[in-house]
Structure 1
Amino acid sequence: MSIMTVIIPIRISPERIDAIERLDYMSLDQECPTSIEFMIVDDGSPKYLSEKLIEKCRCIGATYLRIESETSLFSIGRARNFGAQNANGKYILFQDVDLMPYNGFYNDAINECSIQELDKFADNFIMFGVIYLTQD
């Protein structure tokens, strides 16, 4: 069992093919513990694009799960729920594909889960602030 499963919901489209490369962002945390499981949940990417996503997951060592929902609108909630049902970690962290973690982010997340005793209080959760940048 891993200490934390990081679930990243995604749907690749021809207009957002760059999302595959954004999966490399998680490696920005060079102090990331090996006890973290990264899980990419594909909510209905077209088959020809999901093959590229599967290959990327192999390269970065992430678990790949697919929801056959190609004819439905992308649902981040559906992807998160599916990931949570299949997670192996003691804790679950939902992460957007755009997140660029700092060195030590995942260790800090694990520490905060422990400090808040999330394993004892299933109704509690923590959130992390993020900054969204524009092109400028």
Structure 2
Amino acid sequence: MRWLLLLGAQARYDTLGAAVDALGALGEVHEHAAERLTGSAGGEPGQYRNRLVSLRHAGPREALVAECKRIERDLGRGRLDGMPVDIDLLACAHGNDWQPDPHAVAKREFVMPHVRLLLADAGLEAALPAA
């Protein structure tokens, strides 16, 4: 299966490259858009680094979520102040169609401006509408 992942970190942490490398140990990684510096709603611009990648992973969703949480911990999440890395599953590919992940829908990921920007950069904005 192919999964679309959103990677994020506070701008002061340069951990996204290490996260991509760690994901590469799980399967083939494809970067869909260049890293973007973004801000939070009502916050300072450039507070966060974000990347959009896809990962081919043969295991079930739950195993991938566990691996992503392990990578987050390995890169300092829970030990360092702030958010050194966050990996969220956005969607799963069924053929050429992306199906939004229910957890991402529940978190309203697809209406977030930084997610919309990355999807647009990758040419995937129409494939995953902000509904």
Query: TM-score, length-normalised on structure 2?
Result: 0.29
Higher relative helix content = 1
Higher relative strand content = 2
* Larger RCO of the pair (alpha carbons < 8 Å, separation 6+): 1
Q: Which protein shows a greater Rg?
A: 1
